Homo-oligomer: A and B are copies of this chain.
Amino acid sequence: MADVAAKERKILVAVDEGEESMHALSWCLRNVISENSKDTLVVLYVKPPRAVFSALDGYWFSADVIAAMDKHSNDVAECVVEKVKKMCKDLHDVKVETRIEHGDPRDVICQMTEKLGADVLVMGSHGYGLIKRALLGSVSNHCAQNVKCPVLIVKEPKSTSTKN
């Protein structure tokens, strides 16, 4: 069996703003990352596309509203990065990178997994709400089907009564 110290894996964890992502990252740190290894942990947050049109009343958002939404989106991204950094602060030998990308998470996660040559992709199983999941399909299911590397799907214990 391979010497633990020889491992040089790139572990990609895709997170969103939900708590389940942080649980998935935490599980990964406890069960996948080897402290004495040369693993690289890349934590990826994908900012979803900005909605510019309100489906509810049929009006285009004004420039002010769009600017406010963009600021909110950036604030959320920064908040996620802060949570990740806090969770990873005790990792000494493992290199940690955080990346913020923009687009449809299903596509961006798959693309980044290939681009970075990830050895494993880790993600939670929920992330975009019940309705979106029903309409669009689960992000984790899409990624599990489309990436080539192993995929680890970590669920938050309390949410397991709902099917993915």
Contact = CB atoms under 8 A, between A and B. Distances in A.
User: Contact residue range for chain A?
Assistant: 35 or more
Consensus secondary structure, chain A interface:
loop
A144 B153 contact: yes
Given A1-B30, A31-B9, A150 B152 contact: yes
A32 to B, nearest CB: 7
Copies in the complex: 2
A153 B155 contact: no
Contact of A30 (B2, B24, B31): B2
Interface stretch (A61-69, A71-79, A156-164): A156-164
Nearest to A162: B145
B120 A31 contact: yes
Contacts of A164: 144-145
What 3 A-B pairs are tightest by C-beta distance, nearest first? A148-B160, A150-B154, A145-B164
Given A4-B34, A31-B120, A150-B152, 18 more contacts: A1-B35, A1-B91, A4-B4, A4-B35, A4-B36, A9-B31, A141-B141, A141-B144, A144-B144, A144-B153, A144-B164, A145-B163, A146-B163, A150-B154, A150-B155, A151-B153, A152-B152, A153-B153
